[in-house]
Amino acid sequence: MAFLEWLEYSALADWVATSTWGYPIMLTAHSIGLAIIVGILLVLNLRLLGLFSEIAIVSLSSLLKLAWSGFILNLVSGLCLFSSQATYFATHIAFLIKITAIILALVNAAFIQNLIKTQGDYWDAGGAVPGLTKGLAMVSLLLWVTAIIAGRLIAYID
């Protein structure tokens, strides 16, 4: 708790919380990062589930670098946003659900990324995407949508 308070009183957190543009700038950056990471993973997951089958899975995986940069943007902007009200967010149920969903989604994404590395060419050559992989893709979609919903609810629930 002391660390959270220290964070909240830091110069950065103070700027985000009290300046006119600090919070809006961080929120905007957070939306941009969201669009990039969830947008790209959405396309990739839908492809793994069988849509857009003319697009090679391996070719989509080259977008993952861009997706991860979107995540980094949200990690940084997220930390800035968090720090501005650290003690409040740290016990906020919507925020905690959001972070849990994101951590699980990241682990899931790492699994999927690895599966594509080892099986991607086989799938693109006509091999069937196994049910487990499709399951992971479905879970990924659900987790990111949960993160979006929980994130949006932060402002509406105490």
Partner 1 sequence: MIQALVDWAITTPMNGWVLSWNWTWVILEILHFVGLTLLLGGLLVIDLRFMGFLKQIPPMVTHKLLAIVFLGFTINLVSGILFFFGDPGRYAINIGFQIKFGLIILAGLNVLWFYFKVVRTMNTWADVDSPPASAKFIASTSLVLWFAVLICGRLIPYVGTG
Name the site residues for partner 1 (rule: CB under 8 A).
Answer: 21, 23-24, 27-28, 31-32, 34-36, 38-43, 46, 52, 54-56, 58-60, 62-63, 66, 145, 148-149, 152-153, 156
Closest distance of CB 149 from partner 1, Å: 5
Closest distance of CB 43 from partner 1, Å: 5
Closest distance of CB 83 from partner 1, Å: 19
Closest distance of CB 106 from partner 1, Å: 17
Q: What angle do CA 29, 34, 80 make, to 5 degrees?
A: 40
Nearer to partner 1, 7 or 36 (CB): 36
Torsion angle of C-alpha atoms 97, 101, 102, 108, degrees rounded to 10: 170
Nearer to partner 1, 24 or 130 (CB): 24
| 71 close to 33: Cβ distance less than 8 angstroms | yes
| 129 close to 105: Cβ distance less than 8 angstroms | no
Nearer to partner 1, 40 or 101 (CB): 40
CA 65 to chain centre: 13
Closest distance of CB 124 from partner 1, Å: 10
Q: Phi/psi zone of residue 50: left (φ > 0), alpha (ψ -120 to 50 degrees), beta?
A: left
Nearer to partner 1, 89 or 144 (CB): 144
Tokens read off for 49: 């589930």
